[in-house]
Structure 1
Amino acid sequence: MSIILTVFALVFLGELISWIGQSVLLEGAFALYLRLFYPTVASQQKKLKSDVLTTKAELLKTSAQDQFAKWAKLRRSVDKGLADLEKTNSDMASIRTGFSFKFNTGIWILTTGLQFFVGWWYRKAPIFYLPPGWFGPLGWVLALPFAPTGSVSVGMWQMTSRRVIKVGERVVKELVSPAPKEEVQEEKQSEKVTGGEKTE
């Protein structure tokens, strides 16, 4: 793949992750990670929650005065279940913390890190050359920081790609989103005016 498409793809990947939301991706990836590497911990946590809720519901239905032996047994069972659940939750939290660090590091490497690396590695390489005289004496700006004059550098191509993607995102949101609030308010005001005329 050429450098022009590589840089654009990296910028697009970074913007796509920010559109979806890193926290949303983290939740989905963590759920998959648990299923693949810690299936027993996840199922144990689910079973403990279910058992504690069932036992607690039964405890609430049991009278402490009339059925003390049964109530005490259920109470001990609830306490033990809660202690086990707390330990499982603690294990799950430590697994999540480790996974979250690895996931966020991986996302940073795939997006920002690779963009920095590609920008540094190809800092002197032109992405493409512009026709002479298009930007007059300001043509050297597009070659910053180290590309030959008359060309577009990797850094400028990254900035341009990001800007184009953001404008595209805004256009898509405007096409997909419902009517703006101002239009809705104007419609409501016109309905009030026409309603007022009818009542008069």
Structure 2
Amino acid sequence: MPSLLLVVFTLQFLLHIINTVGANTINQLLWILYNKLPTPTSKAQHESARLKREVVRLKREMGAVSAQDDFARWAKLRRQHDKALAEFEKVDGSQRSHLTTFNSTISTLRWLGTNGLRFLLQFWFAKSPMFWIPAGWVPYYVEWILSFPRAPLGSVSINIWGIACASMIALVGEAITATYVLITKKPLPLGDKKEEPTAFSAKGATKPEEKKEL
């Protein structure tokens, strides 16, 4: 069984990755991978891409043909274009419906696997010490804070350990980002910012404008 210390650290690391890359970006990547597998939507996805290319091709050909000088050819291309467009809209509408369901399912699973699991661990191990602090190392009030809310006095609680992990991961992430920018002279590309807050903010609280959705 993996160490609880490592489990909490891994959860915080996953939350940091999700909030940095962006939930929508992750959903899009998973949708692409999902459609590359022999899934019910993979065939429809390929058909949608084919019809889109066909609609673009026919539209270009229509633009290159004069409706006055060669009306018969233009009308034939127009009928083919309208038919391909109708088929594309039908397939694309079905795919959008599947995509909405897929995103909803992935978002639910992601929440259960990160924040849901974090809440469960915090509740289940609220009275369990993550590790003990040597006696006399810190004042009484510091011991009380480190054991907050219900861990034995003189130990570090799962909540405080989570905050420490989130803070360290955030600091290391900022250091890596700053190093990347200094070396490449380019800003670091980030995902969308519509995420829920991380489990614990490095600064203790998440600002309203930084609220993110998982």
Normalising by structure 1, we get a TM-score of: 0.84
Please provide the CA RMSD for this pair.
Answer: 1.6
For residue 79 of structure 1, what is the amino acid of its counterpart? Answer: D
Q: CA deviation at 1:31?
A: 0.5
The corresponding residue for 1:93 is: 96
Q: For structure 1, which segment, 94-103 or 63-72, has the greater mean C-alpha deviation from structure 2 after superposition?
A: 63-72
The corresponding residue for 2:181 is: 177
The corresponding residue for 2:33 is: 32
The corresponding residue for 1:158 is: 162
For structure 1, the 5+ residue unaligned runs are 182-200
Normalising by structure 2, we get a TM-score of: 0.79
Give me the whole-angstrom Cα distance separating, in 2, the residues matched to 1:125 and 1:170: 31
The corresponding residue for 2:153 is: 149
Is the CA contact (8 Å cut-off) linking 1:35 and 1:42 kept in structure 2?
A: no
For residue 82 of structure 1, what is the amino acid of its counterpart? Answer: L
Name segments (4+ residues, structure 1) moved above 3 Å. Answer: none
> Which one has more relative contact order, counting CA pairs under 8 Å at least 6 apart?
2
Q: CA deviation at 1:66?
A: 3.1
Q: How does 1:41-190 map to 2 (within 5 A)?
A: 41-138=44-141, 139-178=143-182
Aligned residue pairs, count: 180
Partner SS state of residue 182, structure 2: coil
Matched, 1:10 2:11: yes
Higher helix share: 1
Matched, 1:21 2:22: yes
Q: For structure 1, which segment, 54-63 or 159-168, has the greater mean C-alpha deviation from structure 2 after superposition?
A: 54-63
Give me the whole-angstrom Cα distance separating, in 2, the residues matched to 1:173 and 1:39: 36
Deviation string for 1:66-85 (max 9, x for gaps)? Answer: 33222222111111111111
Give me the whole-angstrom Cα distance separating, in 1, the residues matched to 2:174 and 2:67: 63
